Structure 1
Amino acid sequence: MQFPVTRMRRLRRTEAMRSLTRETFLQPSQFIYPLFICPGEGVRKPISSMPGVFNLSIDEALKEAAECASLGIGGLLLFGLPESKDPEGSGAYADDGIAQRALRALKADSSLRSLVMIADTCLCEYTSHGHCGPLTGNGNDCTVDNDATLPLLAKTAVSQARAGADIIAPSDMMDGRVAAIREALDEAGFTETPIMSYAAKFASAFYGPFREAADSTPQMGDRRGYQMAGGNVREAMREIELDVAEGADMLLAKPAGPYLDVIRATRERFDLPLGAYQVSGEYSMLHAAFERGWLDKDRAMMESLLAIRRAGADFIVTYFAKEASQRLR
């Protein structure tokens, strides 16, 4: 049947009708809010390139977490900013490291039990050179030593699980990291702790503001030797397949908005829970347009998140988590 018998606009006529026939939904429990934890007390340092986002001391992070819990947000993704750094990123796996102390404080607060605590498992915030593991080579010809990095990531994961992390999230893109982490977690008695692998993490220009937030800009070279090339969807599927075979329980695609096709391809091929990280550059780009009055803030924010969900993501790591959750109330 075709027009005039078939009229698609019939189901768009009222808000109630549109709500009844909506295919894709957003709700606060689908959002993960990133926190950047720094040393000190009473610290709430604005990140200049990310309006509304801060480096937080643990006491301030507890306040932020309480707000997230009250809004029904699903969880937190923790990044640590250590007091000092070294070439091997030892602060990442120190039992008294900044992320570990934050995890213990967050898990000790019974009012935060609704929040899933996810630990970003990487060394880049902790290394003096800003790369994701120990280096070989010199200057711009340096590269991360993949195999030397694996035991350090495994130590970091065990330390984070011991501190209370509900999910371990390796974001380094080293080959074999999921298997190394799974083996270490199991040997340490954390057989029930899941791994959420950043299985398809692309070398993206959209990470720029994050590097200010996490103080993780590489001091030499770049990360294109281990993060993926932006044009390679088939390679992304191979990366994901390998991580699943090594024991990944969940998947995370990064970035989100510029890589919706990767999210869709992943959703169609794999049945694991799938998240997407709406990264700092996506957030900052939209905020720049909001500040100039070029885009309606609420509508553009919600549309950007809905697009990620529609592409196939079950949950979204986003700096808009609090604002979007307030909008959904």
Structure 2
Amino acid sequence: MDIQFTRHRRLRSSANLRAMLRETHLRAEDFIYPLFVVEGENQKNEVPSMPGVYHFSLDLLNDEVREVQSLGIKSIILFGVPEAHQKDECGTQAFHDHGIVQRATRQVKEAFPELLVVADTCLCEYTDHGHCGIVENGEIVNDSSLELLARTAVSQAKAGADIIAPSNMMDGFVAAIRKGLDEAGYSHIPIMSYAVKYASAFYGPFRDAAQSTPQFGDRKTYQMDPANREEALREAHSDVEEGADFLIVKPALSYLDIIRDVKNNFSLPIVAYNVSGEYSMVKAAAQNGWIDEKATVMEMLTGMKRAGADIIITYFAKDVARWLKEAE
């Protein structure tokens, strides 16, 4: 053949050559592993809609954290699940010094001082109505909620949390929390803001795990419309101006374009939240033999890194850390 063309396949001809030229890499230290802590004793109960994800009581929590750390994962994010009778209209257990997340944080930091503990800062798990703010006359009230969110953040920092991660999507939440932390003497504690959080259908299994399904209405008046792209940049810009140190995009898989937009426009570390629905879909398909779980998960998470994520919050963290060790 007397034709000219470029031979791209030369650089794909062997596994070692492909590895040498790989542009995007996953590492165990890229991951934050979510953990759900509950009241009681001897509780390790699998979340029905999330195979391999469990509720842990405090007496069993350290064993799980020890395994996480042994895999090279450097950070966890704690979600608290109080008992039903502990919930009230303003989510008191969220900011109580002896709340479940505060106790778990103190315990983990005492046993594993080098592990980074991220505290999810929201009210929805702790309110009897399941919303992320105060409700008055059927409306989620913004400004009254900010004070309680700031109190929650301060109580979590006091308990030893290394990073505060507010997920409520109230206007001004980063500014209120930053002010609260600074005035309480925690100016050194960073805020990992859920800056771009969509009102997504992919949260269903999490609400099962966190027992935080709204008792009325939905969260569309404070979480973002999935159809909107430019709004994400406005939300992220506000959080940067208010003092955020990290920017989370949630969910991840259907919002890779948003991750790239946020990465291109802001110099802060970008966090992708690989959410519960994304996890459960893969687990269900793998259990049915429809997909190769390992290959699918590695491709998904690599796509999130390639899109611009510096960090990934994922329920797959332990699985991927094991696979990476096996590949060494």
Q: Is the shorter-chain TM-score for this pair beyond 0.5, marking a shared fold?
A: yes
* Secondary structure of residue in 2 paired with 1:251: strand
Q: Does 1:291 align with 2:287?
A: yes
Kindly indicate whether the alpha-carbon contact (under 8 Å) linking 2:72 and 2:321 is maintained by their aligned counterparts in 1: yes
1:164 aligns with 2:153: no
Contact 1:274-1:314 within 8 A present in 2 as well: yes
In the TM superposition, what is the alpha-carbon distance from 1:115 to its structure 2 partner?
2.1
Q: Which amino acid aligns with 2:132?
A: C
Per the alignment, residue 107 of structure 2 pairs with: 105
Q: Which amino acid aligns with 2:35?
A: L
Secondary structure of 2:148's aligned partner:
helix
* 8 A Cα contact 1:78 1:119, kept in partner: yes
- The TM-score normalised by the length of structure 2 is 0.96
- Which position in structure 2 is the counterpart of 1:118? 118
Deviations 1:272-329 (A, max 9, x none): 0110100000000111110111100110011111011110000100000000000000
- Contact 2:46–2:53 (8 Å) recurs in 1: yes
Separation in 2, partners of 1:97, 1:3: 72
Q: Is the 8 A contact 2:109 2:115 kept in 1?
A: no
What runs of 5+ residues in structure 1 fail to find an aligned partner?
none
SS in 2 for 1:169: strand
Within a 5 Å distance, the mapping from 1:303-322 to structure 2 comes to 303-322=299-318
Aligned length: 322
Paired residue for 2:51? 51
Q: In the alignment, what sits opposite 1:136?
A: 136
Equivalent position SS for 1:206: helix
- Cα distance between partner residues in 1 of 2:114 and 2:110: 13
Asked if 1:328 corresponds to 2:324, the answer is yes
Root-mean-square deviation over aligned CA pairs: 1.1
1:233-279 superposed Cα distances (whole Å, 9 cap, x missing partner) = 10110000000000001111100001111101000101101101000
Distance in 1, matches of 2:200 and 2:5, equals: 48
SS at match of 1:325: helix
Give the distance between the partners of 1:219 and 1:250, measured in 2 at CA: 31
Q: Which residue of 2 aligns with 1:8?
A: 8
Name the CA distance, whole Å, in 2 between partners of 1:59 and 1:307: 37
Which amino acid in 1 is paired with 2:241?
A: A
Query: Which residue number corresponds to residue 96 of structure 1?
Result: 98
**Residue 59 (structure 1) shift:** 2.2
| Mapped contact 2:94–2:126 kept (Cα < 8 A) | yes
- Rounded Cα–Cα distance in structure 1 between residues aligned with 2:194 and 2:212: 17
Asked if 1:81 corresponds to 2:81, the answer is yes
For structure 2, the 5+ residue unaligned runs are none
Structure 1 runs of 4+ aligned residues shifted over 3 Å read 2-5
* Structure 1 residue 4: Cα displacement: 5.0
Give the structure 2 partner of residue 61 of structure 1.
Answer: 61
C-alpha distance in 1, partners of 2:188/2:291? 44
TM-score, normalised relative to structure 1: 0.96
